[in-house]
Amino acid sequence: MEDRIRLLKKKANQIRKLIIEMLAAAGSGHPGGSLSSADIIACLYFDVLRYDPKNPSWPERDRFHLSKGHACPALYAALALAGYFDTEELWKLRKLGALLQGHSDRRVPGIDVGSGSLGQGLSVALGMALAGKIDKRDYRVYCIMGDGELQEGNIWEAAMAVSHFRLDNLCAVIDYNHFQIDGRVDEVMNPEPLSDKWKAFGWNVIECNGHSMKELLESFDTARKVKGKPTMIIAHTIKGKGVSFMEGVVDFHGRAPTEEERKIALNELENNEASKGKE
Amino acid sequence: MEKLYARDIYGKTLVELGKKDDNIVVLDADLSNSTRTAFFRKEFPGRFFNFGVAEQNMMASAAGLASCGKIVFVSTFAMFATARPLDQLRNTVCYNNFNVKIVATHSGITVGEDGASHQALEDIAILRSIPHIRIVVPADAMEAKDAVIAAYKEEGPFYIRLGRPKVAAIEGRREFSLGKGYILRKGRDLAIIACGIMVGEALKAQEMLKSKGIYATVANVHTIKPIDKNFIIELAKEYKHILVCEEHQSVGGLCSAVSEVLSRSYPVKVGSIGINDRFGQSGSPQELLDAYQLSSPHIAKRAEELIRS
Q: What is the mean predicted confidence (pLDDT) over A156-174?
A: 98
Which pLDDT value is given to residue B212?
95
Residue among B59, B60, B65 minimizing CB distance to A131: B65
CA distance B52 to chain A (A): 9
- pLDDT at position A30 over 90: yes
Which pLDDT value is given to residue A131?
98
Angle CA(B200)–CA(B174)–CA(B287) in degrees, nearest 5? 10
Angle between helices A153-164 and A121-134 (to 10 degrees): 20
CA distance B87 to chain A (A): 8
> Rounded CA gap, B27 and B55, in Å?
10
For A250-259, write each residue's pLDDT tens digit: 999 999 999 9
Are domains B3-168 and B182-308 of this chain identical in fold? yes
CA distance A121 to chain B (A): 8
> Rounded CA gap, A275 and B175, in Å?
67
Cβ separation of B49 and A165 shorter than 8 Å?
A: yes
Which pLDDT value is given to residue B54?
98
Q: What is the mean predicted confidence (pLDDT) over A268-275?
A: 91
Neighboring chain B residues of A160 at a CB cutoff of 8 Å: 52, 54
Which portions of chain B are predicted below pLDDT 70? 1
Q: Quick check: helix, strand or coil at residue A239?
A: coil
Residue A82 DSSP code:
H
For A106-154, write each residue's pLDDT tens digit: 999 999 999 999 999 999 999 999 999 999 999 999 999 999 999 999 9
> What percent of chain A is modeled with pLDDT above 90?
97
- ipTM for the complex shown: 0.97
The CATH number given to whatever domain includes residue A143 is 3.40.50.970
The answer for B97, left when phi > 0, alpha when psi is -120 to 50, beta otherwise, is left
- Residue A77 banded pLDDT, cuts 50, 70, 90: very high
**Which of the residues A60, A67, A105, A113 would you substitute to probe the B interface, choosing the one with the greatest number of B C-beta atoms within 10 Å?**
A113
- pLDDT at position A263 over 90: yes
Q: Which CATH number fits domain B3-168: 3.40.50.300, 3.50.50.60, 3.30.428.10, 3.40.50.970?
A: 3.40.50.970
Q: How remote is the C-alpha of A64 from its chain's centroid?
A: 9
- Residue A274 banded pLDDT, cuts 50, 70, 90: confident
> Rounded CA gap, B270 and A275, in Å?
70
Cβ separation of B60 and A127 shorter than 8 Å?
A: yes
Domain boundaries, chain B: 3-168, 182-308
> Rounded CA gap, B264 and A138, in Å?
54
The values of phi and psi at residue A222, to 5°, are: -60, -45
Host domain of residue A242: 2-276
Which pLDDT value is given to residue B10?
98
Tell me how many domains chain A contains.
Answer: 1
Angle CA(B95)–CA(B101)–CA(B102) in degrees, nearest 5? 95
The CATH architecture to which B182-308 belongs is 3-Layer(aba) Sandwich (3.40)
Neighboring chain B residues of A115 at a CB cutoff of 8 Å: 92
Which pLDDT value is given to residue B190?
97
Answer for the pair B27, B51: CB distance below 8 angstroms, yes or no. yes
Q: Do strands B48-50 and B216-220 pair parallel, antiparallel, or not at all (unpaired)?
A: unpaired
Cis peptide before B157 (omega within 30 of 0): no
Question: Is B55 designated active site?
Answer: yes
Establish, for the pair of chains A and B, how many residue pairs have beta carbons separated by less than 8 Å.
105
Answer for the pair B120, B104: CB distance below 8 angstroms, yes or no. yes
pTM for the full model?
0.97
Which pLDDT value is given to residue A279?
82
Q: Give, in order, the Cα–Cα distances in Å from A88 to each of A70, A76, A83, A100, B142.
A: 20, 11, 12, 11, 54
Which pLDDT value is given to residue B60?
98
